[in-house]
Amino acid sequence: MHEISKKDRMKIPRQPMPEQPGSERMKNFKEVNLGFTEELAKLEALRCIQCPKPVCIEGCPVGVKIQEFIQLVADGDFLGAAAKIKEDNVLPAICGRVCPQEEQCEIKCVIGKKGEPVAIGRLERFVADYERETVGIRTPEVKPKTGKKVAIVGSGPAGLSCAGDLIQMGHDVTVFEALHDIGGVLIYGIPEFRLPKTIVKAEVDALTALGVEFKTNAIIGMTDTVNELMENGYDAVFLAVGAGLPYFMNIPGENLNGVYSANEFLTRVNLMKAYRFPEYDTPVFNVKDKNVAVFGGGNTAMDAVRTSKRLGAKNAYIIYRRSEVEMPARKEEVHHAKEEGIEFILLTNPLEFIGDENGWLKAVKLQKMELGEPDASGRRRPVPIQGSEYILDIDMTVIAIGNGSNPIIQKTTPDLQFDKWGNILVDQNSMKTSKKGVFAGGDIVTGGATVILAMGAGRTASKAIDEFLKNSETW
């Protein structure tokens, strides 16, 4: 197989991801994508022409040695490929599922200039799943103990990637998590059908096996403050608390029953398993045969609307104020949503939620928009069309327009500097904050972004923390 010429390699089409059919999967919470078989993976790996200067790596926030692991896949050394990925990425099964590869590594892929890029994400997922399912996740070597202790606040992607790096460098690592389960947005936010919780658990367990200590139910700022962590023997602190304060739209009727933030709706369903009520005690609005509208155009909006469909909604709408081109959601998610029967109402904005006398949501007043001049984000600004208002009957709505920063750390850490939105100010190269010994990364620095960007920030911080622990005089 290795003798195959570059030309022949380029003739192999991009291998599609096997998936549950749309009609089937909208009735269950099982994973949509089924993953490559060994044959598909090898075939797809052969499409990589092994560039001498692989540009794909430039697109990866954690710098996975992409062409090397893909060569190992082509050679059939799947475990070797897994080890290669894990030199740079401690959560490959998660990243292989939820990273927007099409905007990162795959957009750089040379093969993609003429045809479709190598399916790097699908291969990463295959390799991680292969290892876990055959021999179990193998842990990399850990350097001798340094005697230094690091506190990581938040167990989402930024915290986990930082923890994985620091433990391998020989430092003691404790991760503090506010909720009762580990994983942050990977657990409460991203649904089971896109990222099974057993996979998050397996990758977290691998970190535990490396020696990372996890403390749940610990809200830093309340249970302990940042200063108390430092007084209690932690030599450095990494704040990776995420963007945990949902935005609402400030329109009338937003406090009616049946109006959820995406965080609440998804937390009830994912973390608290409300989709299995009453087997699990936490309920969520019963959408069976009801109409649901989700406002927003990002991945979270897609997660929420697809979840509502699986819970039995008759009609599930995405309502977005711009057009499909401007939607921040991954194309794959939009495509999957459409396959599952989600209706897209574009260039439309809500003006008011209308309720009944008992305070239950019954309808929403909408207004049509048209695209005007580009705004600060570079996307064309939606402008209301006067006289286009109409009423849509809905029983439940989810507002998925993003998150602000949670105020708890800010209120309890007076000597830390924040910007006007409440995001922590850091030096981008080191993730150092204004407070000596304290680093920050992920959504609490950038505002709501992606899993892999948060992991990249965790990785950048781990290097700077390691240097700081070796020489803590300078800041």
Residue 96 or 244 having the CB closest to other proteins: 244
Instruction: Please name the residues in contact with 134: beta carbons below 8 A apart, sequence gap of 6 or more.
Output: 78, 79
Binding site residues, other proteins, CB under 8 A: 178-180, 188, 216-219, 222-224, 244-246, 248, 250, 254-255, 257-258, 260-261, 263-264, 267-268, 272-273, 277-283, 285-286, 358-359, 406-408
Give the shortest CB-342-to-other proteins separation in angstroms: 23
Tokens of 402: 């993003």
Residue 141 or 281 having the CB closest to other proteins: 281
Tokens of 468: 């700081």
Give the shortest CB-251-to-other proteins separation in angstroms: 11
Q: Running DSSP on this structure, what letter comes out for residue 32?
A: S
Give the shortest CB-267-to-other proteins separation in angstroms: 5
Residue 115 or 283 having the CB closest to other proteins: 283
Give the shortest CB-7-to-other proteins separation in angstroms: 53
Residue 44 or 177 having the CB closest to other proteins: 177
Give the shortest CB-121-to-other proteins separation in angstroms: 28
Which of 89, 34, 52 lies closest to 454 in space, CA to CA?
89
Give the shortest CB-294-to-other proteins separation in angstroms: 15
Left (φ > 0), alpha (ψ -120 to 50) or beta: where does 63 sit?
left
DSSP string, 369-380: EEEEEE-TTSSE
Q: What's the CA gap between 12 and 45, in Å, rounded?
A: 10
Residue 267 or 446 having the CB closest to other proteins: 267
Which of 324, 332, 378 lies closest to 348 in space, CA to CA?
324
Residue 10 or 354 having the CB closest to other proteins: 354
Instruction: Please name the residues in contact with 171: beta carbons below 8 A apart, sequence gap of 6 or more.
Output: 145, 146, 148, 149, 150, 465, 466, 469
Residue 215 or 381 having the CB closest to other proteins: 215
Give the shortest CB-155-to-other proteins separation in angstroms: 14
Give the shortest CB-172-to-other proteins separation in angstroms: 20
DSSP bridge partners of 245: 404
Give the shortest CB-350-to-other proteins separation in angstroms: 16
Q: What's the CA gap between 431 and 425, in Å, rounded?
A: 9
DSSP string, 300-337: HHHHHHHHHHHTT-SEEEEE-SS-GGG--S-HHHHHHH
Give the shortest CB-359-to-other proteins separation in angstroms: 3
Residue 222 or 385 having the CB closest to other proteins: 222
CA dihedral sign of residues 380, 383, 388, 392: positive
Give the shortest CB-97-to-other proteins separation in angstroms: 23
Residue 61 or 221 having the CB closest to other proteins: 221
Residue 273 or 379 having the CB closest to other proteins: 273
Q: Running DSSP on this structure, what letter comes out for residue 182?
A: S
Residue 42 or 268 having the CB closest to other proteins: 268
Give the shortest CB-382-to-other proteins separation in angstroms: 24
Residue 174 or 388 having the CB closest to other proteins: 174
Which of 415, 418, 391, 414 lies closest to 404 in space, CA to CA?
418
DSSP bridge partners of 363: 354, 393
Q: Is the peptide bond before 13 cis (omega within 30 degrees of 0)?
A: no
CB 96 within 8 A of CB 121: yes
CB 211 within 8 A of CB 167: yes
Which of 115, 209, 225, 104 lies closest to 163 in space, CA to CA?
209
Task: Burial-class residue 276 by CB neighbours within 10 Å (0-12, 13-18, 19+).
Answer: exposed
